[in-house]
Structure 1
């Protein structure tokens, strides 16, 4: 089978972006690993990071810890070339990631609202999600000594994608 490009036109060649671990946030009893991505700098603008944390605080389930969740998640503030994005993810049950995706105009990073459409993330955001999935397997699900949420929280991704 041959796959042809069709009408998709690349706006520009891929340029790697820095992905930074910004810290571990405590948000309403949740332990949230916070990441930042930016198209124009090494880290996203502070207003977007703050809006991402505020958005996470407004939607993470309460209470954080129950019989079906650890109270652990991760969030991504992405200062992209065309929009501001915030992804808020949390672990539910043993092996599910629940996610909400928000966006805002570039000139209003504090105006995050639910992102319309069916997107789940871009190549940069999904690099974080993939790292987190692998870390969850390594430290929680497939750890021979049993689940170690603290080891999971201490594992974080930093790099260029």
Structure 2
């Protein structure tokens, strides 16, 4: 098991405004190294958001945000939106 590393401040940036179907989503990037997440992670985040939002049928405002977190040991994408 490796020794824990002290927390290192990460870059948190607005990347772009996405129009996915009828949705308006803000894409944000969090990067462990560099200013932005890797381009392939940002593209994966857009695909995941499109797949997720296409399945959403509940009453909602069709606005929200997508996060692409490019971490040191793992990367992940989250899709969040407001609804009734």
Query: Higher helix fraction: Structure 1 or Structure 2?
Result: 1
Q: Based on CA coordinates, which of the two structures has the bigger radius of gyration?
A: 1
Q: What stretches of structure 1 of length at least 5 have no aligned partner? A: 1-9, 94-161
Q: Which residue of 2 aligns with 1:32?
A: 25
TM-score of the pair, normalised by structure 1: 0.47
TM-score of the pair, normalised by structure 2: 0.88
Please list the CA deviations of residues 124-148 of structure 1 after superposition, one character each: whole Å capped at 9, or x if unmatched.
Answer: xxxxxxxxxxxxxxxxxxxxxxxxx
Matched residue of 1:81: which SS? coil
Q: CA deviation at 1:15?
A: 1.0
Aligned length: 81
> Aligned match of 1:22 in 15, 26, 30?
15
Matched residue of 2:60: which SS? coil
Q: What stretches of structure 2 of length at least 5 have no aligned partner? A: none
5 Å matches for 1:1-161? 11-60=4-53, 61-62=56-57, 68-93=59-84
Q: Which structure is richer in relative contact order (CA contacts within 8 A, separation 6 or more)?
A: 2
Q: CA deviation at 1:11?
A: 1.1
Q: CA deviation at 1:13?
A: 1.3
Query: Higher strand fraction: Structure 1 or Structure 2?
Result: 2
Which whole-Å CA distance do the structure 1 matches of 2:33 and 2:11 have between them? 10
Matched residue of 1:14: which SS? coil
Which whole-Å CA distance do the structure 2 matches of 1:85 and 1:16 have between them? 18
Which whole-Å CA distance do the structure 2 matches of 1:43 and 1:37 have between them? 7
